[in-house]
A = this chain, B = another copy of it.
C-alpha cells in the first residue's frame, strides 16, 4: 500500500524494482512517452498502479535537468495588493496550467534591485520564458535573460527590447475623462478642467493617461492649467495631503490608480457631507468598493483576460520583436 521502510520518496528506480522492470520503462510510462517507446499496455498498467500505491511524484529537478526545456514560465509582479495584479497572477496561473506549463510567480515590491534578483532567480529555475509585469526597468531584465537564452515579455509597462503588451491607457483615460466632464456638467452645470491626481510623470502609463485626459479636455476646448496635473506618486497619504492642502478642488477628479483612490476617498470622507456631494470622480483601475461610492461616476477596468490571452499567444508564437500591442479597457459605470 504505502511505502514500507524508507521515509524518502520513491524514485523510478524503486518502482522499477517493485514492478520488476527497468527505470527507463517506468520513466517512459510516467511521462507519457511509453506509446512511442513501444511499452505494452500491460506493463504500463502495472507501473501506473505501483506509482499510485507508493505515492510517487516525479522529481522535477531531475527531470528538468535532463531535458532541454523546463516547461516552467516565470512571472514577476510588483505587488499582490490590488485587484489588478491579483487578477493577473490568478489568470496567469490558470492559463499556464491549461497549457501544460508550470507557473512560478514572484513579487518584487516595485523595487528595481529586487526585480533584477528575482529575474536571476527565475533563470536559476531554468524558466523557458519570463513575463515581466509592471517592471521599472524591463530592458535590463531582457538583457539579463537574453544572455541566458531566455525570452521575455513586458506586461502592463512597455520596454524597448522585448514584446510589450499593455492596456490602451490613452483611449481609456480619454473616455473616462469625458464621463467625468459629462457628470460635472450634468450634475452641477459646470464646465471646468478636472484634477488629475496620482502616478509618476516618468511612468509610461501615467503619461499615456495624462495624454488621454488632456485630449478629452481639448476636444471641448477646455484648457488645463499645470497645477491641475498632480503626479507626485501613487501613495494614498500623498493624495490626501495634496487635496487637503489645495485651496480649490474642482468638482471632477481623475484618479490615476486605486491605490491613490484610497487617499482621495479618505479625503472625501473628511469633508462635510454637502461639500462631498459636490465631487465626482473616476478612477483608473477597478475596485469593487471604490466603484460603490456615490461620487464615483466610472472606473476603468483593464481587461486582464485579454491581456493574458495575448501574452500567451505572443509567447507561444515565439515572437521576439520589441512590438507593442494594446488591449482595450472596459469602462465600468455605476449600476444605480
Residues of A within 8 A of B (CB): 2-3, 7-9, 55, 57-62, 64-65, 70, 79-83, 85-87, 89-90, 93-94, 102-107, 109, 120-121, 123-126, 144, 147-149, 236, 261-262, 265-266, 268-270, 287-290, 292-294, 335-336
Assembled-state Cα–Cα distance A272/B336 (Å)? 11
Assembled-state Cα–Cα distance A126/B270 (Å)? 52
Q: Are B9 and A123 in contact, with the CB atoms below 8 A?
A: yes
Chain B's nearest CB lies how many Å from the CB of A153? 18
* Nearest B residue (CB) for A268: B292
Assembled-state Cα–Cα distance A206/B261 (Å)? 31
* Nearest B residue (CB) for A289: B289
Q: Are A90 and B61 in contact, with the CB atoms below 8 A?
A: no
Q: Are B126 and A59 in contact, with the CB atoms below 8 A?
A: yes
Instruction: List B contacts of A64 (CB < 8 A).
Output: 61
- Residue from B59, B265, B268 in contact with A65 in the complex, judged by beta carbons closer than 8 Å: B59
Assembled-state Cα–Cα distance A187/B269 (Å)? 19
Instruction: List B contacts of A287 (CB < 8 A).
Output: 289
Q: Are A102 and B121 in contact, with the CB atoms below 8 A?
A: yes
Please list the 9 inter-chain residue pairs (A to B) with the smallest Cβ-Cβ separation, ordered nearest first.
A289-B289, A80-B86, A60-B124, A61-B61, A55-B147, A61-B65, A9-B148, A7-B149, A57-B123
